[in-house]
Amino acid sequence: MVAGATRGAGRGIAAALGEAGATVICTGRSSTSGTGAIRSDYDRVETIEETAELVTRLGGVGIAAQVDHLDSEQVRQLAERVRDDHGHVDVLVNDIWGAEVLKGPPPTWDTPIWRHDLDTGLRILRLAIDTHLITSHHLLPLLIDRPGGLLVEVTDGTAAFNANQYRISVYYDLAKVAVNRLGFSQGHELEPHGATAVAVTPGWLRSEIMLDHFGVTEDNWLDALDGSVEGYPPAPDGFDSSESPRHVGRAIAALAADPDRARWNQHSVTSADLAREYGFTDIDGSQPDSWARHH
């Protein structure tokens, strides 16, 4: 199950698991066939059905399930459906986010807590942390009923990087640190059941929102580097080492395929770390590492 599979890293992770032949339950709020009462914080076109179709097209079995992961009852019902239909979850990916707009554009970053809108900040934390807690509470019983399960917590920045870097605002900073810690604390609880938890961060991700910001697509993203896309800003330094969402997906697929994945339990790693370990590449054959310039 990829929780938060509508777009961005979640879609890339679902797609890469599809490449590996997995049955992938793709959850999120944006749906073509679900209830319109469940709405994303983003007003965008991507849907979970598109992600599920992509999974199937790549060789897996994609299943779309509309869920608001802030609603405990909805997630409980999802867990019941998964139990009835599949009996077990091998891999749970907590990729739920939804606060990209709420974090604000760069000119608003570094706004101190006493000036930052409180409701916005608390919403960021709810979307980033409460969603993961609710999902783990209801779904992990399906992961630990036999040994070998894998929980992946997706965040931005490793525990080591975030430990001494201020990230945008108090709220965003706390969200990113907390999700890494969830990988650590849940790994402690999962280990006696033969399950593994790992926190994984992609590099500079060419999500749909990021590509739109620079006026490019995945096919011509390099055009953003020289500022040649009329009406759009040029990409800053470092964008040439960005990665497609499939790259972090292949990182998680490699983890899931590793019979010795327990060695990663409670660790916080980048997609580039895992690419060096397992040898996979991005869709263009490269092994990007946007974190290397920070080290």
Q: Under CATH, domain 2-205+243-289 is a member of which superfamily?
A: NAD(P)-binding Rossmann-like Domain (3.40.50.720)
3-state secondary structure the chain: CEECCCCHHHHHHHHHHHHCCCEEEEEECCCCCCCCCCCCCCCCCCCHHHHHHHHHHCCCEEEEEECCCCCHHHHHHHHHHHHHHCCCCCEEEECCCCCCCCCCCHHHCCCCCCCCCHHHHHHHHHHHHHHHHHHHHHHHHHHCCCCCCEEEEECCCCHHHHHCCCCCCHHHHHHHHHHHHHHHHHHHHHHHHCCEEEEEECCCECCHHHHHHHCCCCCCHHHHHCCCCCCCCCCCCCHHHCECHHHHHHHHHHHHHCCCHHHHCCCEEEHHHHHHHHCCCCCCCCCCCCCHHHC
Query: For the chain, what is the radius of gyration of the CA atoms?
Result: 18
Contact by Cβ (8 Å): 216, 224: yes
What is the structure's pLDDT at 37? 78
What is the structure's pLDDT at 39? 81
What is the structure's pLDDT at 28? 95
What are the beta bridge partners of residue 26? 2, 64
What is the structure's pLDDT at 35? 84
For the chain, the domains span 2-205+243-289
Compute mean pLDDT per 10 residues along the chain, 295 residues long, and list them: 96 98 96 85 90 98 97 98 97 94 90 96 96 98 97 96 94 96 98 98 94 93 88 90 97 97 98 97 95 75
pTM of the model: 0.96
What is the structure's pLDDT at 295? 55
Contact by Cβ (8 Å): 103, 124: yes
What is the structure's pLDDT at 228? 79
What is the structure's pLDDT at 294? 65
Instruction: Record the tokens describing residue 204, joined without a space.
Output: 């500079």
Distance between first and last Cα of the chain: 33
What is the structure's pLDDT at 36? 82
